[in-house]
Structure 1
């Protein structure tokens, strides 16, 4: 059986694993920068640089990530017509997000004109928001279907004591937890994306962004941590 160190090595070997670690760095440093900005400006600047470097690193790690959505659609988007439509819309939005994120990264590091950054950021965030909305809807539909199946299985297990029904119920419960983590991450990332699309005092506040980023990162840790 793998111990914690083994699991950490496996986790960090994944692209999603290292992304969640660096995302944690990014948003912890954002919160620390906000907290010490007035009292320790030198330290605040160091944390700001850490935040910016982490953000750029994550964009580099996401190179080619838009192909994930394409492959998901190619391999089979959903079990029902409704879920198929939602999967197409969600993955299309995510593909736009990751594709234009390449150009945002290149403009931020100076390879492309820095003036492109704002436009690329808007397009990328718009695609991200669009996709997350449909991912969230799909997850709620699947969780609702899971609850209905779980109720039927509970009745079956009470009537005949079926071990298969109990095992299926356990699996449905575990899947529901994973989907709740996905919803939490998507809602948090949606808030961050809205800060780019339509800046406002709530979404753009450092605490809102910091907490949202950490919720997303830690939900990702949970979902990607080896069992």
Structure 2
């Protein structure tokens, strides 16, 4: 692949809302880890990293304006083969993004600051519920794909190689989605039920980067 091809793909990637979100999410969690690493040895640098983290986090919330409509749209459509799983996943996502608006507005001073914690809790709860059901659906599809692949390899057929390749590509994408959702679930739990493991800067930093980089992979133009 030439450098021009890579640049073209980067331009397309960054033109997407999800592309920008994953880039800024990378900034957010790299700066979180930088703040943790420099906190004791270089307070000045740690303060700058913290400012970067805060700015990136607030920027991501602004970019997500109206994102709750995706979940709402999913709810108003037929849930398909997953039924209740799809309904609960989309409902959780809708709650997450809707209340995230109020978290953002309270943190930038438009709404009262005391609302931030409450809105963040509701948003994180919806987010976590959504992730649980999205993970479940992806795991079901991965299992189904494995069965289908074994059947194709056993029985053969004219388009066997093409179908197997398609199944494997879908599995990789679903594994990336699962990794991202599990990582984001850890971050959500840190908001809902603070604990030493989930709330540690390293846990949050690594989880955020896993989610961001899985998103890079999934959204990168083919």
Q: Matched residues in 1 for 2:191 and 2:102: separation?
A: 16
Asked if 1:183 corresponds to 2:178, the answer is yes
Partner of 2:187: 192
Matching residue of 1:60: 62
- When the two chains are superposed, the root-mean-square deviation of aligned CA atoms in Å is 1.2
1:137 corresponds in structure 2 to: 136
SS at match of 1:3: helix
Provide the C-alpha distance between the structure 1 equivalents of 2:88 and 2:209, rounded to a whole number of angstroms. 26
TM-superposed deviation, 1:76 = 4.1
Distance 2:75 2:141 in 1: 17
Structure 1 stretch 215-224 or stretch 67-76: which is displaced more?
Answer: 67-76
- Tell me which residue corresponds to 1:174: 169
Q: 2:33 aligns with which of 7, 31, 34?
A: 31
2:112 matched residue in structure 1: 113
2:110 partner SS: coil
Partners of 2:92 and 2:120 lie apart in 1 by: 14
2:19 is the alignment partner of 1:17: yes
Q: Distance in 2 between matches of 1:138 and 1:40?
A: 45
The 2-side partners of 1:67 and 1:8 are apart by 26
Distance 2:27 2:79 in 1: 33
Please report how far the alpha carbon of residue 77 of structure 1 lies from its aligned counterpart in structure 2 after TM superposition. 3.0
TM-score by length of 2: 0.96
SS for the counterpart of 1:155 is helix
TM, length-normalised to structure 1:
0.94
Alignment correspondent of 1:125: 124
Q: For 1:72 and 1:125, how far apart are their aligned partners in 2?
A: 19
Alignment match, 1:156: 155
1:45-87 CA-partner distances (Å, limit 9, x unpaired): 0000000000000000000001111223334433x2xx12111
In the alignment, which residue of structure 2 is the partner of 1:223? 218
Q: Secondary structure at the match of 2:26?
A: helix
Flag structure 1 segments of 5+ consecutive residues without an equivalent: none
Moved more, 180-189 or 64-73: 64-73
Q: Give me the whole-angstrom Cα distance separating, in 2, the residues matched to 1:72 and 1:168.
A: 28
Q: Counterpart in 2 of 1:99?
A: 98
For structure 2, the 5+ residue unaligned runs are none
